[in-house]
Structure 1
Amino acid sequence: MIKIIALLVLSLVSCTVAVQLKYVSCGSTAVVHSIVLEPCAAEPCVIHIGQNYTGSINFTPKVNHDHAYNFASGDVTGAGTEEIWNINPNDACTKGVKCPIQAGLQQTYTATVTVPITNPKRMAAKWQVKDSNDPAAHPIICFVFPVTIVA
């Protein structure tokens, strides 16, 4: 019995923790059904410098798109300054989006990103997927969620 309990506790400790994010849309033209970030155990998500995080976005586009590109940034809480995060590669079609994107066809986009921040802070993280490699293009998916960056 003790061995069974020990195995159960060990398996629970080793599980990947994920939470469905509470987010604010910032102009998505697709319907976003859910966003999950792993490993993120609670809101706001505590993100460790240099750690990899995997996000899964379940969405249904409203219009067709030939291609998709990733854009990410963070707005430092209280400072009002946006930091641009380089995503490499920024071509979302090589990182999980099934292109060309077909209107009405639900898909789940999964991407792994290493945290690009080098100093601890609280911020609002913004993730966008656009149909052009132009940062000024209108987003297919755009959402903002709170994070706390820790060393």
Structure 2
Amino acid sequence: MKGLEIYFENVYHMMQVRVMMRSTATVHSVFLESCVAEPCVIHVQQNYTVRIVFTARVNHDKAYNFASGDVIGIGRDEIWYFKPNDACIDSVKCPIQAGLQQTYSKTVTIPITSSRRMAAKWQVKDSNDPAAPPIICFVIPITIIGN
């Protein structure tokens, strides 16, 4: 896994984000709205936007959103479901062409209602199967602040 430069709301900031090496794309940058330090502080029931600039190494006809959180100290994944699941509808231009730089963008409402620390995992896959290998995948530590 490697570090990645992330740009935050007009502030250039270095932050360690683990990019999954088995992804079928090269990730150039990740923008997480409102994150200014690690871990990223997220407030429940608020909208957040993620933008990922990437270049696919292979062609993909479709793209699907997958997100989960590994609760720190418990080691259990929580699956987060975002609508639409089909990333081609509103997040990325499909088909995804190898060698063409694209920007993936998705705004979501955090579905968790209680405070906790997690390792959030964001994936885009070319199959609606959670076990499929990712086109894009990154993991970032977050702290969720509840009501």
TM-score by length of 2: 0.88
> Greater strand percent: which structure?
2
Which one has the largest radius of gyration? 1
Distance in 2 separating the partners of 1:75 and 1:90: 20
Alignment of 1:79-94 (within 5 A): 79-94=74-89
C-alpha contact (below 8 Å) 1:19/1:37 kept by paired residues: no
**1:133 maps to what in 2?**
128
Q: Secondary structure at the match of 1:70?
A: strand
Partner residue in 2 for 1:56? 51
Q: How many residues align?
A: 137
**Larger helix proportion of the pair:** 1
How far the C-alpha of 1:17 sits from its partner, in A, is: 7.2
Matching residue of 1:22: 16
Of 108, 119, 127, the match for 2:103: 108
Structure 1 unaligned blocks of 5 or more: 1-14
In structure 2, the residue matched to 1:36 is 31
Give the C-alpha shift of residue 22 in structure 1.
2.7
Q: What is the CA-CA distance between 1:94 and the residue it aligns to? A: 1.0
**Residues 113-140 of structure 1, C-alpha deviations (whole Å, 9 max, x = no match):** 1001111000000000000001111100
Q: Which string of whole-angstrom CA distances, capped at 9 and with x for unpartnered residues, describes residues 38-90 of structure 1?
A: 01121110000001000110000000000000000000001100000001111
Change (3 A) 1:56 1:21: farther
Deviation at 1:19, TM superposition (A): 5.7
- Residues 81-114 of structure 1, C-alpha deviations (whole Å, 9 max, x = no match): 0000001111111122110000000011111010
CA-atom RMSD in angstroms: 1.7
Aligned position for 1:65: 60
Q: 1:119: which partner in 2?
A: 114
C-alpha separation between the residues in 2 aligned to 1:92 and 1:65? 12
- Sequence identity percentage: 66
